[in-house]
Structure 1
Amino acid sequence: MPFRKIEQEKLSQAVVRQIEALILNGILRPGERLPAERELSERLGVSRPSLREAIAELQRAGLLITRAGAGIYVAEVLGSAFSPALVRLFSTHDRAVFDYLDFRSDLEGLAAERAARLGTDTDLQVIDAVFARMEAAHNKRDPAHEAELDAAFHMAIIEASHNVVMLHMMRSMFELLREGVFYNRQIIFRQRRTRDTLLDQHRSIRDALLARDPMAARAAVERHLGFVRTALAEEGRSDANEDVARQRIAREAERG
């Protein structure tokens, strides 16, 4: 008969499973420092030897790393979905920018639809709180801060979709965006009119989510990212036109 004796799980394995779940669900993030050994063992209710055994296993698995004199950290696994060679290709070809935005529109539209259906009340409170911070930052005219809040808003929606594969894929994508691999987010926050439009679009997304309207939430995300795509294309055309104009004026100066 296919039965085996039930064996009590080692405490260290219970610790491993809990930390793995926190990383998988995006609660513990890459680069985040774990509490000191004494504090962590007290929080988990296990002995320090059991904790050390669990930490060692997680380090062997590549999920945690030790930094000399600094403590234990979640490994920097974001971005590992893309090889350095591919990242370089992304950063040097304009097509990647627009393919990236199309990808985001498809995936984030789905995430918004899922968030409207599956997000908890707490998830929606987080999204609403991030949007409130966006409104507060709007009048301060700090493009870098607005861009960071924009990313936080979109990530809050992805987290509210409760799909861990989507979560880690999009965190990896946003890390490349933060590093300027695809485009400089601050570009689209330079003009007041554009900034006002972007804020209104995020408000529409927020409102659809709070109303728990999946189709409206998806449509609002798609409209927003379509606008970003158009704005970046126009910015590129403007830069190209300016380059031609400078060549013309230089040529006129040569003609004297």
Structure 2
Amino acid sequence: MPFQKIAAEKLSCSVARQIELLILRGILRPGERLPSERELSEKLGVSRPSLREAIADLQARGLLTTRANAGLFVAETLSATFPKALTQLFAAHDEAVFDYIGFRRDMEGIAAERAARLGSDTDLRIIDANLRRMEAAHQKKSPAEEAFLDAEFHMSIVEASHNVVLLHMMRSMFDLLRQGVFYNRQVMFQRRTTREALLDQHRAINTALQRRDAEQARVAVEAHLDFVETSLAEQRKADRNEDVARLRFEHTQNR
């Protein structure tokens, strides 16, 4: 008969599994500091030796790392999807910029559909709360906070899709965006008319999600990223025109 005796799982294995699931599900993020050993053992209800054994296992697998005089952290390397050389290549060519936007359009359209169907009520409350934060930041002259919250809003939709592969892939892509690898989001928010349009587009996405209208949520995301692509292309063209105009002006001044 194909039956075997059930082996009791070591306590340290249970601890390691709980922590790795928190990392897999995106609750614990790369670079995030964990509680102290004493606090963590109390929260988990296990002895320090069992906790240390679990931590050693997670460190050996590259999920956790220690920093001198700082404590225990989720490994930052978990967010490094692309090698540095490829990241630099992305930053150097417009082709990558517009391919990135197309990639986001496809993936975030899927994420929005899934979020409308599978997201919990709490997920939708988080998305709505992020929109309210964007609306508050919209009143400020500087676009920096609104641009930051833009990424938070989109990531909350990806998180609500409840697909861990999509979650980690898109989180890595947004990390590159935050670093300015593809384009400077703050520049997108500098023109008041563009800021108004972007906020209205985020409202449309949120409205569809709150209604759990999966098709409209995808359409709203795609329309938003089409606008981003067009605006960015126009901005790049305007920058090139300005360069030409300055050369022409300097040449006429030196005659």
Identify the TM-score tier after normalising by the shorter chain.
over 0.9
Partner SS for 2:32: coil
User: Which aligned segments of 4 or more residues in structure 1 are displaced greater than 2 angstroms?
Assistant: 77-80
Give the CA deviation at 1:254: 2.2
CA distance in structure 2 between the aligned counterparts of 1:188 and 1:34, rounded to whole angstroms? 35
Partner SS for 1:105: helix
Residue 17 of structure 1 is matched in structure 2 by: 17
Q: Is the 8 A contact 1:79 1:173 kept in 2?
A: no
1:159 aligns with 2:159: yes
TM-score normalised by the chain length of structure 1 = 0.98
Partner SS for 1:77: helix
Query: Number of residues paired by the alignment?
Result: 255
Residue 42 of structure 1 is matched in structure 2 by: 42
Q: Is the 8 A contact 1:78 1:171 kept in 2?
A: no
Q: Is the 8 A contact 1:16 1:55 kept in 2?
A: yes
Q: Which moved more, 1:4-13 or 1:78-87?
A: 78-87
1:68-79 map, 5 Å: 68-79=68-79
Partner SS for 2:76: coil
Residue 172 of structure 2 is matched in structure 1 by: 172
Residue 6 of structure 1 is matched in structure 2 by: 6
Residue 105 of structure 1 is matched in structure 2 by: 105
CA distance in structure 2 between the aligned counterparts of 1:41 and 1:85, rounded to whole angstroms? 41
1:132-151 map, 5 Å: 132-151=132-151
Q: Is the 8 A contact 1:118 1:160 kept in 2?
A: yes
Partner SS for 2:65: strand
Partner SS for 1:173: helix
CA distance in structure 1 between the aligned counterparts of 2:141 and 2:153, rounded to whole angstroms? 18
Residue 215 of structure 1 is matched in structure 2 by: 215
Residue 58 of structure 1 is matched in structure 2 by: 58
TM-score normalised by the chain length of structure 2 = 0.98
CA distance in structure 1 between the aligned counterparts of 2:22 and 2:99, rounded to whole angstroms? 31
Residue 181 of structure 1 is matched in structure 2 by: 181
List gaps (5 residues or longer) in structure 1: none
Residue 228 of structure 1 is matched in structure 2 by: 228
Partner SS for 2:66: strand
CA distance in structure 2 between the aligned counterparts of 1:250 and 1:145, rounded to whole angstroms? 37
Partner SS for 2:180: coil
Q: How far does the alpha carbon of each residue in 1:57-78 deviate from its partner, in whole angstroms, 9 at most, with x for none?
A: 0000000001111110000034
Letter in 2 for 1:135: E
Give the CA deviation at 1:183: 0.5
CA distance in structure 2 between the aligned counterparts of 1:209 and 1:86, rounded to whole angstroms? 35
Identity level (%): 68
CA distance in structure 2 between the aligned counterparts of 1:78 and 1:18, rounded to whole angstroms? 17
Residue 194 of structure 1 is matched in structure 2 by: 194
CA distance in structure 2 between the aligned counterparts of 1:166 and 1:144, rounded to whole angstroms? 27
CA distance in structure 2 between the aligned counterparts of 1:240 and 1:133, rounded to whole angstroms? 34
CA distance in structure 1 between the aligned counterparts of 2:119 and 2:33, rounded to whole angstroms? 28
Q: Which moved more, 1:65-74 or 1:246-255?
A: 246-255
Letter in 2 for 1:175: D
Letter in 2 for 1:124: L
Q: Is the 8 A contact 1:78 1:175 kept in 2?
A: no
Q: How far does the alpha carbon of each residue in 1:194-222 deviate from its partner, in whole angstroms, 9 at most, with x for none?
A: 10100000000000000000000000000
List gaps (5 residues or longer) in structure 2: none
Partner SS for 2:57: helix
Give the CA deviation at 1:83: 1.1
CA distance in structure 1 between the aligned counterparts of 2:58 and 2:18, rounded to whole angstroms? 11
CA distance in structure 2 between the aligned counterparts of 1:196 and 1:185, rounded to whole angstroms? 15
Partner SS for 2:77: coil
Q: Is the 8 A contact 1:90 1:181 kept in 2?
A: yes
Q: How far does the alpha carbon of each residue in 1:20-56 deviate from its partner, in whole angstroms, 9 at most, with x for none?
A: 1000000000111111111111111111100000000
CA distance in structure 2 between the aligned counterparts of 1:77 and 1:225, rounded to whole angstroms? 29
